[in-house]
Amino acid sequence: MAINKTLAAITAVVGALLPTLVCRAQPTPPQPDDEPQYMRITDDQDAGAVSLELSIRTLNPPKAGEPVVHLVGVAHIGQPAYYRALQSFLDKQDLVLFEGVGAPWMNVPDDASDARRREATTGRIRFLAAEAEGVKRALGAYPEDAQALLEQAEHSSRRQISEALTDAWGHPIAYALGDGALELTSLGADAKPGGDGPDADVRWSDQPPLTDGELSTADGIQTQLAGAAGLVFQLDAIDYMRDRWVNADMTVDELLGVTGDAFTPDDGEGGSDPLIGLLSGESLLAKVTGFVLKLLGSSEYSRAILRLTLIEMLGRSEELMAMAANPVLDEGLWERILDGRNEVVLKDLRDVLADPGDVRSIAVFYGSGHLPGLEKALVEDDGYTLAETRWLPAIIVNFEESGIPPRQGEFFRKRVSSMIDSQIEAVKEMAPPSGD
């Protein structure tokens, strides 16, 4: 009875968090020959271990001398060794196009108005101020300059800091300290001091104070889930501060369908979108879930059970997301998450393929659910051919090391699978009849 209650609690928590995991790490749809492309579960009975594995698929170009493309599937959370292997592989490529839904102030369109650019620049300045304040609270003083801010900030923030140090007109944002006070300044559209309208300076000292959400140091829910399972979160494990790594993704506004000069202020709490609020760790649901995760991660035994649950649920996340998509994500958002983001990647990729220069190898570093569509487009439309598939273990449970007898481990897996079946059937029964 206690085992069933524990498994029920774990599957309920992981089920609630599934959208935060598969937005980047969805399984691939079944292929005609039933051979997995980008995600699979493997059983090593001799070693007494079960693993969730993700692949790197290498595509050769139609003509000699053109860039090779590596489609690199990634799990949102995984073993440290998994991310070390990914980092080593990616660092060997000439160009990496990576995922990462950006804050509203990122990726301002070329045709954006000066008003939109000013709002985006304000967002960048507020983000930099929040990061500098976070360093001050941790170390007792503001970083002395922008380079020190980059070096002293949290690992996962450094790429965004680097991008935020340029305003939306493409000019550097000045970082300065005076009498212990921080000042951040954009010189506006004309890049000259003073000015009116779009040319007016944008200063941190003219802004309202940072909100509690902007100042929060709460871990995102993915980091909390990774810690509870004895794993690590992708953004905490991968170093994105590399030359020729390019963010090929949407902003929050684009993902939410906000167009034109509309702008969603980044208040650090995910705005009104429940999924983004959950990801930030600031929503009530995120805080309650975080508390439960701490309890689940209290022993190696429960951490291993949580990893087993993750393996089974991620292995069937296509079914589970189909079940959960309607109440969690509206149809347009779900389409943008998958198809819309793929269009962004393909555009960036084809721009490089049209004029590769000295680029001979490109890695597309994206959630596994995006890669079948990208592979299909490259093969059918661009003449690429599959050359190689290599598999990397992302999440591993060794029964002996975890103190779980192999038979008990198999029992847990069957119970999780049975619970998933029950959840799916229950949702089907609650669904309105077709045509209603």
Q: SS3 string of the chain?
A: CHHHHHHHHHHHHHHHHHHHHHCCCCCCCCCCCCCCCCEEEEEECCCCEEEEEEEEEEEECCCCCCCEEEEEEECCEECHHHHHHHHHHHCCCCEEEECCCECCCCCCCCCCCHHHHHHHHHHHHHHHHHHHHHHHHHHCCCCCCHHHHHHHCCHHHHHHHHHHCECCCCCECEEEEECCEEEEEECCCCCCCCCCHHHCCEEHHHCCCCCHHHHCCCCCHHHHHHHHCCCEEHHHHCCCCCCCEEECCCEHHHHCCCCCCCCCCCCCCCCCCHHHHHHHCCCHHHHHHHHHHHHHCCCHHHHHHHHHHHHHHHHCHHHHHHHHHHHHCCHHHHHHHHHHHHHHHHHHHHHHHHCCCCCCEEEEEEEHHHHHHHHHHHHHHHCCEEEEEEEEEEEEEEHHHHCCCHHHHHHHHHHHHHHHHHHHHHHHHHCCCCCC
More confident residue, 191 or 428: 191
pLDDT tier, 148 (very low <50, low <70, confident <90, very high otherwise): very high
**Mean pLDDT, rounded, for 81-97:** 97
> Model confidence over 289-314: pLDDT tens digits?
554 555 565 678 888 888 888 888 77
The answer to whether residue 417 scores a pLDDT higher than 60 is: yes
Over residues 8-50, the pLDDT tens digits come to: 555 555 555 554 554 444 444 444 456 788 989 998 877 789 9
pTM above 0.85, yes or no: no
pLDDT of residue 298: 62
| Beta bridge pairs of residue 183 | 176
